[in-house]
């Protein structure tokens, strides 16, 4: 059987077989947001490339973590959807705590898993109990974008606007359960981690969907995305969200897929793609800065993933990586031609790789990114400050 036919058959099986119901939140410790005896927020686990600090500072109370975004932070939403964007089969998850796939697009943990809070369930994977909402919820969906139609060729996904609506619904359920005042206090003290936007390039602008490149210059397209992001962040603010972490876009011009697609020589990043991403990050950082000035009581930080990832790429040997271009799992040059669909396609040890598959980093990279978000351990990537400092100042 040819490889193209094999991929086609596999893709059809993904779409039309019954989704595997993985309620991965049963595997992790539960925590009540009102238990003073349990440390409510801890620094990230030390990265695979760093030493943990000798003294851990006292930290403010953070009752819950809410996550919105795309495959960079999807913990299982797409397990319940008819889509090509699924990570509920090995080798995904092989290096995770349970060594089983959970829906995370990684060999192990995604960045939010290193932030020290209990792993929160996906919105579609909740058991329906009140406790699910109190520790936080992950609404992220692989393939989703800021634009409603981004990623439509992949199948079902939950757009960013719909994820915000899902949180508003969660907030209303909290009010009914514990009362408005307590619900507002819980939400305003929680952390909202937002990682969205890359699919608006991968699956929309770069593919020139709806002739978008002739309608918008990259700069105008970035402004359009920022305007829509601004509206959604204000919607969250209007339902008492105050502490937000907005992640910038990664250097996808260095991802194995684009190295393969643009026939990169010697693994050089595709500057045409990266220049758009850098411009988008510039506009988004300005948008966040403006919102901080406009919204009383808001504490929003913007984290430049591009800057942090490029530091890892340029100094990969210092970080302990020996493979910067080839994905651990895939087929073709740079392992960027075909996605990771079989354990036989994966390398034996992902710890030395920057890239897990066509677009996603390994958990070793995710650990470093989480360190930088938390306390700028390696690179000052968050503005106006890192998450640890923001939590202290917003108490």
Q: Which residues are catalytic?
A: 71, 357, 360
Buried b (16+ CB within 10 A) or exposed e, 182-213: ebbebbbbbbbbbbbbbbbbbbbbbeebeebe
Residue with tokens 């909290």: 174
What sign does the dihedral 389-142-18-149 (CA atoms) show?
Answer: positive
- In 3D space, the residue among 365, 241, 236, 242 whose CA is nearest the CA of residue 298 turns out to be 242
Distances (CA, A) of 194 to 9, 120, 149, 186, 244: 34, 14, 19, 18, 7
SS3 of 245-307: the string is EEECCCCHHHCHHHHHHCCCCCCCCCHHHHHHHHHHHHHHHHHHHHHHHHCCCCEEEEECHHH
């Amino acid at each position: 059987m040819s490889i193209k036919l094999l991929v086609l058959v596999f893709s059809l099986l993904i779409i039309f077989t019954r989704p595997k119901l993985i309620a991965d939140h049963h595997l992790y410790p539960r925590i009540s947001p009102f238990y003073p005896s349990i440390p409510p927020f801890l620094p990230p686990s030390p990265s695979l490339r760093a030493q943990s600090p000798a003294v851990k500072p006292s930290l403010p109370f953070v009752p819950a973590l809410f996550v919105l975004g795309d495959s960079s932070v999807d913990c299982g939403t797409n397990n319940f959807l008819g889509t090509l964007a699924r990570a509920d089969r090995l080798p995904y998850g092989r290096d995770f705590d349970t060594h089983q796939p959970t829906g995370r697009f990684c060999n192990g943990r995604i960045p939010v898993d290193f932030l020290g809070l209990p792993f929160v369930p996906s919105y579609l994977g909740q058991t329906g109990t009140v406790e699910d909402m109190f520790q936080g919820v992950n609404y992220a969906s692989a393939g989703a974008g800021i634009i409603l139609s981004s990623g439509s060729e992949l199948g079902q996904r939950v757009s960013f606007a719909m994820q915000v609506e899902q949180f508003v619904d969660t907030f209303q359920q909290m009010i009914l359960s514990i009362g408005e005042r307590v619900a507002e206090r819980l939400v305003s003290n929680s952390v909202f981690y937002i990682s969205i936007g890359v699919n608006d390039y991968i699956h929309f602008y770069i593919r020139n969907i709806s002739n978008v490149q002739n309608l918008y210059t990259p700069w105008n397209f970035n402004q359009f995305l920022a305007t829509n992001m601004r509206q959604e962040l204000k919607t969250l603010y209007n339902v008492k969200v105050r502490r937000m972490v907005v992640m910038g876009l990664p250097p996808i011009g260095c991802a194995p897929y684009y190295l393969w697609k643009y026939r990169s020589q010697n693994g050089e990043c595709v500057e045409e793609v990266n220049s758009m991403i850098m411009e988008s990050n510039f506009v988004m950082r300005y948008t966040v800065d403006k919102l901080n000035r406009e919204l009383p009581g808001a504490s929003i930080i913007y984290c430049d993933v591009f800057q942090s990832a490029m530091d890892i790429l340029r100094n990969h040997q210092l970080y302990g990586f020996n493979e910067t271009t080839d994905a651990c799992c895939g087929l073709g040059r740079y392992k960027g031609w075909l996605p990771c669909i079989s354990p036989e396609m994966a390398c034996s040890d992902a710890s030395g790789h920057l890239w897990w598959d066509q677009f996603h980093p390994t958990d070793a990279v995710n650990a470093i990114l989480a360190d930088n978000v938390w306390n700028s351990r390696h690179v000052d990537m968050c503005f106006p400050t890192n998450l640890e400092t923001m939590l202290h100042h917003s108490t």
